[in-house]
Amino acid sequence: MAVARLKFFDDDEIGLTHEMSLNCLERIGVMVKSQSVLKILEQKGAIVDFKKEVAKIPENMVKDALKTAPKKIPLGARNPKNNKEIPVETYPLMATTGLAVFTRDIDTGEKRPTTNKDLANFSKIADAMNGVDICWTTVTAHDVDQKALALNSLWTALKNNTKHVHVVPATHGAADARKQAELAALVAGGEDKLRKNPLFSVISCSIAPLCFEKAAIEAQVEFGRRGIPVISMSMSLGGLSAPVTIAGTLENINAENLASLVIQQSAAKGAPFVYSQESAPMDMMTGVMDYNAYQLPLISAGAAQMARAYGLPSLTSSWGFETKDPGIQASLSESFGVMINTFSGTDMMSGAGSLDSAKGAALEQVVLDSNVWQDIRTYMSMFNVSKETIALDVVEAVGHGGTFLKHPHTARNFRTEPRMRDQSKRHWMATLSTSMAPELREIAKKTLKEHVVPSLDKDILRKGDELIKEYERSLSHV
């Protein structure tokens, strides 16, 4: 089957990046701010300095981890029709943006902090949009107990969405991980069912360069032991937390992912692991991540190739047109960056609904991103290349100067091969502005009013609420 993808590295460059990453891990090592995780690494063969909290990882540990990491990972969902598996064969799975701290109010357009009700609405919109496959906990709920934010966010998403959920572990490490898994097991019907078909996965970020924070890495280990997929996201900023060069940034991304993989497999052999990054150069004028940089989609494409070279599923690309207000406030050249991200070879992308460099989110932007993505992903449809589709016998039968219109081969294939554009939505992409926002806003309002997310069983809802309240009480003394 033929699928359109872009290539960034050649084979020699993949090999050199891998070689330098091994060199980095063995010579420089990684800082792990957890004594318990350092002990696990030492037992498996790493050279550990417990005082400096640095582990030097030999090549054989990387090779062993790559052997035991699963090459296919199920992404379960409340509705089995929404179950997915990575790696993908065609276009990547789309997730919403995550943890935005403000929204544009759907009724007033006012910019305001986000609430748990907003998270419920974003989860519901994600459930309704055909272009969205995964619901990241899209916004930060400022009105819940912040010590139990991750647990509350997972619960809100599970109640208001029937697709796979991404969540970020919070500040309490393994304790948070256990409670999140316990909560999801209620919905899945037990721990065994959750392990076989995990309803959620976890974004676990390293701290560039080459550092793993205590709570996050201890939570990652716990999730791995419970069969919850961990998406190990390197956030390397070129010129700030990684070398300013694309190659240097990619090596740092790769080294952090390999180190994370070694930790995961050392703690729980066979634990589901996803190679991931969200990296870009630093804007030298402002000191923040430059989401408009030319390098961003190139870094995504390089990281996707490294993941594929290892046979690991990946989330290495972000989606969306950088915009401060709902719409498409992007130039024609910036849209090429979206194309490169799309065709990079990643298995998942995130960003639907994002505003202002992922600091904000808007419901109508989720609608827009979903519909634009449905259109763009058609370019990555699978095309069968075979004797039957090449159809040389049909060419012979039609003859020189003839027409294929009446031939049975055309009738058999015209509904699957030609992809027709949705003419009613072309103006959304033609304008490259915010003029489509009022129409999108009405669609979002209509969807919130009419789309029905099946409710969880009352007993599960009661137990879930009690679990969260009990956990919040236990944290009141922390």
Amino acid at 182: E
The band of 467, judged by pLDDT with boundaries at 50, 70 and 90, is very high
The band of 451, judged by pLDDT with boundaries at 50, 70 and 90, is very high
pLDDT mean over 419-447: 84
Task: Please write down the long-range contacts of 333-336, taking CB distance under 8 Å and 24 or more positions apart.
Answer: 334/292, 335/432
Spell out the domain ranges in the chain.
Answer: 67-380
239: left (phi over 0), alpha (psi -120 to 50) or beta: left
Query: Is 368's pLDDT higher than 90?
Result: yes
- How far apart (Å, rounded) are the C-alpha atoms in residues 299 and 341? 9
The band of 416, judged by pLDDT with boundaries at 50, 70 and 90, is confident
The band of 71, judged by pLDDT with boundaries at 50, 70 and 90, is very high
CATH topology of domain 67-380: TIM Barrel (3.20.20)
pLDDT tens profile 172-198: 899 999 999 999 999 999 999 999 999
Tokens of 441: 């806003």
User: Alpha helices, DSSP H only, in 31-148?
Assistant: 35-43, 59-68, 116-128
The band of 418, judged by pLDDT with boundaries at 50, 70 and 90, is low
Backbone CA torsion sign across 189, 190, 192, 197: positive
Residue 136 Cα distances to 20, 95, 97, 100, 231, angstroms: 33, 6, 6, 11, 12
pLDDT tens profile 225-253: 999 999 999 999 999 999 999 999 999 99
pLDDT mean over 35-45: 98
Among the listed ranges 275-279, 339-343, 365-369, which one has the minimum average pLDDT value?
339-343
Supply the pLDDT for residue 393: 94
Query: Is 362's pLDDT higher than 80?
Result: yes
Query: Is 270's pLDDT higher than 90?
Result: yes
